[in-house]
Chain A
Amino acid sequence: MLSAMNAPNPLGTGRGPVLWLVAVAWLALAGCGDPASREDDRVYRHSLDGVPTSLDPAEAATIYSSFVVLNLYDTLYRYAYLARPYEIVPNLADGLPEVSNDGLTWTFRIRPGARFVDDPAFPEGRGRPVTMHDLAYSLKRHFDPAVRSQGSWLWAGRIAGLDEWGANGADYDAPVEGLRVVDDRTLEIRLVEPYPQLLYTLATAFSSLVPREAVEHYGREFGVRPVGSGPFVLETFHGALTRMRRNPHFERPPLDLEAEGYDPALHARYDLEALDGRRYPFVDALEIHFSQENAARWSSFRAGQVDYVMVPNEQIDAVLSSRDPIEVRDEILRDHHAHAGIEAGFVYAGFDMSDPRFGHHPDPERDAANRALRCAIRDAYDWQERNETFYYGIGEIFPGVIPPVVPEFDPDLPDASVRRDLAAGRARLARYGWTAETLPELTYGLVAGVQQRQMWTQFRSRLVELGFPPDRLDVDNFAAFGDFNRAMKNRQLDLFFLGWSLDYPDAQNTLQLFYGPFETPGSNNFNYRNPAFDSLYERTRAMQPGPERTALYRQMNKMVIDDCVAISGLSRTRVHLWDRDVRMLPDREILGGHFLRFVDVERGGGD
């Protein structure tokens, strides 16, 4: 010890930091908490397993962003609350559009009375009426190079003059040929070629109407300072919670259950009738709790801190008394409502077809051998096992890439491509001369995480069974999805496992994943190139829904199956649980979140 320690030293200096910290703690208390709920508030507390990043509609690419954005902003269309298959209905739009005979000119009208919420971005802080200029502006934003749009692909090359407008400096005062504002309530969209999915795109969060004043006022911070005309107004938003309050200016005709697809046989048990004919939104405040850890999400639901949960895999035994048919335990149903529904999307594995070791090859003989290798891997794959282990055994396994949720799904397709047949796989390898010595080294990419790792472990043991030497199966771990994505887009992964959530209920949305010109960095991560497929895809691009298009879709689906491009797939069944005193039917599909305006709770108070 230094001898100087004997010198007197007032205790006061030692206490300083401690006192200071205490003071900071109390200060923080005053400043940073989430707002209190008012006594008489009726609050609905939803929970989600992911976190939105930006609330700028131009960047609303995830389910999580959509859940918030669709409740703060208005879109022209939405999906009917209860009708399945999904059915598009007007939201801010005044009815369906008028479409010209050539399918190129669409005239949209919006209902009167909608206005943006009060915000300092507007003169005198008062929100102004919503007009079609806002829609034109919002669509233009996606093509402005200064905006980090993640949704521009929905309209790229579709609307006359819009791409060029962006390329020529994105001057918002310059007109775009294809976006003609006839009057405040009427917009005429001129297309380059018929675009049957246009209506769907106007139900996505990407198409939300944003006011130019707010974008310009908040600049980069617009992503955290949303100003919309939706049913709710933002109160709090951070990585763990968002809290919204009912928008007093939001006016829509009362809820018409019948028009929303109400079917007593399916929906009577959810006590929704009482809501019929009432004006929504029904709750005073809406909270969405973002909690990525299954355990924490489930526990906070069980402890009554949130009103809703999507049942995590490991809890399924505690919730279901039977998996087929799906039946929920009586003791759960005493306090909760339950609903099981299939996802609008699917999970699948894919090969990088640009790799000549196992993908496309100029030499037809080798090409056939490569195809046999891919098919053998698909034969060895055990969807049943994966379903049992990771999706409660209640996922729906289907062949090909047209998932059950879309109308073009073919329930009669042979299931050979999803049935495990190890012997057939080995026979294929033998027939084409693949041996332990000649099998290529495969690199599988995964985003570090418990489940992803477990899935790979399972996949890997199937490949070893097939005859792959274990040391020829590499795994590339990525700590973040962005890095995984980069590796995939740069064609560094041979084999990957992905999920796809549909942006709209049309098989075109998944078939585009195999369209040659969309090869990486585009959405065709398989780098699949098949001229026959591409020409069919181009033909169906402009076709209206109908048997003819469905037949072509199915033909394309069959090509993907026959070429063993993907190991596909499985649509997960989601089991939703919610409190008995909440009246709703939750849904998270098609980048959902629209249903939250129809939620009602019977109790008062926040917690």
Chain B
Amino acid sequence: MNDRGPATSARPVVNPGADAPLAPPPRERPRAPATPWRRAVRRFLRDGWGLAGGLIVAGFAIIAVGSWLGAWGTDWVLATGGQWEGPSARHPLGTTILGQDILARALASTRTAFEIGLVVAALSTLLGALFGALAGWFAGGPADAAIAWLKGVLDSIPFYLFVAAVAFALDDHPWAMHLAMIATFWTTTARLVRAEVIRLREREFVEAARAVGVPPMTILRRHVVPNTIHVLLVQASIVFVAAIKSEVILSFLGLGVEDGISWGLMIAESTTEITSGRPWNFIAASSFLFLLVMGFNLFADAMQDALDPREERR
């Protein structure tokens, strides 16, 4: 299949059920080969909402790191209180059916969310960059066709079905969910990178490098990949959010986090509690989730704007 310009980036679709990652809305491609990073940072700092988003994300990152280092959220499994206690000084968000501290669980879940988000975002972006660059550089060749086929196949299997199948396939392997998400999320990144690479390949400085006989791999490494960084960054942040949101639904369905704690598990626990007037599990998990995703969305938006050379024209 050949590149269809904007129509291609319109192809990945948001699915309200899946919270699957979506391509950033079509924007005009950057005009300059390299965007000066300093200008991007300056622009980012001018964006109030983006900054707020960044701060929220940073806050959660601190929570995650602290929980990882054992500074807080460590006693999420122990019964430190009575059954279903309301909020108190000792348990600011109350306790669960087993008397566990809900705040500690929400904090520990932040770590889980970051782990999943980072692993999935990093690996799926890497995979997407690799396959996208290959497909773009050899556009029209057999490698491109094979990658297009693979993308088509993975995109055509319903997301939950795929994750469920992988979860079953790996029995209860802790990485089953990660693997399934990586396998499905790289396709969008690859599609965008491919388009970008095709565009770059035609540009003068690449043509020039080719003309003087620089080996293709060097050109790819030195001229092409660095120029797709902005696409990768934005795409990685989108995948990060998608992974966190998917984790919640998968864990709720019993296909996600198995031996640990996550917001999805907390929400799954809470469904029976809401109707009996014990909303704290639900409130804690859903507001943590909302805040982090919201922060990340704002952050990603601002980052995209900052990295997008087109903004010059405003």
Q: Which A residues form the contact surface with B (CB < 8 A)?
A: 1-2, 293-295, 298-299, 312-315, 317-318, 388-389, 448-450, 453-454, 457-458, 461, 475-479, 483
Contact = CB atoms under 8 A, between A and B. Distances in A.
B164 A479 contact: yes
Given A314-B272, A315-B275, 19 more contacts: A2-B7, A293-B271, A299-B275, A314-B276, A317-B276, A448-B254, A448-B255, A448-B258, A449-B254, A450-B265, A450-B269, A450-B272, A453-B265, A454-B97, A457-B77, A477-B172, A478-B172, A479-B254, A483-B168
Nearest to B256: A448
A432 B7 CA distance: 73
B83 A294 contact: no
A1 B5 contact: yes
Given A448-B254, A454-B269, A318 B276 contact: yes
Given A477-B258, A479-B255, A2 B5 contact: yes
A495 to B, nearest CB: 15
B79 interface: yes
A311 to B, nearest CB: 11
A318 B164 CA distance: 37
Interface of B: 4-7, 77-79, 83, 97-98, 164, 167-168, 172, 254-255, 258-259, 265, 268-269, 271-278
Nearest to B269: A450
Nearest to A313: B272
Nearest to A487: B171
B64 to A, nearest CB: 23
Nearest to A294: B272
A449 to B, nearest CB: 6
B98 A458 contact: yes
A458 B168 CA distance: 26
Contacts of B7: 2
A295 B172 contact: no
Contacts, number: 66
Nearest to A456: B259
B309 to A, nearest CB: 18
B83 A388 contact: yes
Contacts of B271: 293-295, 450
A388 B79 CA distance: 14
Contacts of B77: 457, 461
A313 B5 CA distance: 57
A116 to B, nearest CB: 41
A408 to B, nearest CB: 35
21 contacts: A1-B5, A293-B271, A294-B271, A299-B275, A313-B272, A314-B272, A318-B277, A388-B83, A389-B98, A448-B254, A448-B258, A449-B254, A450-B265, A450-B271, A450-B272, A453-B265, A454-B97, A457-B77, A457-B98, A458-B98, A461-B77
A454 B105 CA distance: 14
A448 B265 CA distance: 11
Given A450-B268, A477-B172, A315 B5 contact: no
Given A298-B275, A450-B268, A450-B272, A461 B78 contact: yes
A2 B272 CA distance: 52
Nearest to B164: A479
Contacts of A388: 83
A477 B259 contact: yes
Given A295-B275, A314-B278, A389 B97 contact: yes
Nearest to B252: A450
Q: Which A-B residue pairs are the 10 nearest by beta carbons?
A: A448-B254, A477-B172, A314-B276, A477-B258, A295-B275, A294-B272, A314-B272, A450-B269, A450-B268, A295-B271
B6 A1 contact: yes
Contacts of B97: 314, 389, 454
Nearest to A388: B83
B25 to A, nearest CB: 13
A314 B273 contact: yes
Contacts of B255: 448, 479
A281 B164 CA distance: 44
Nearest to B271: A295
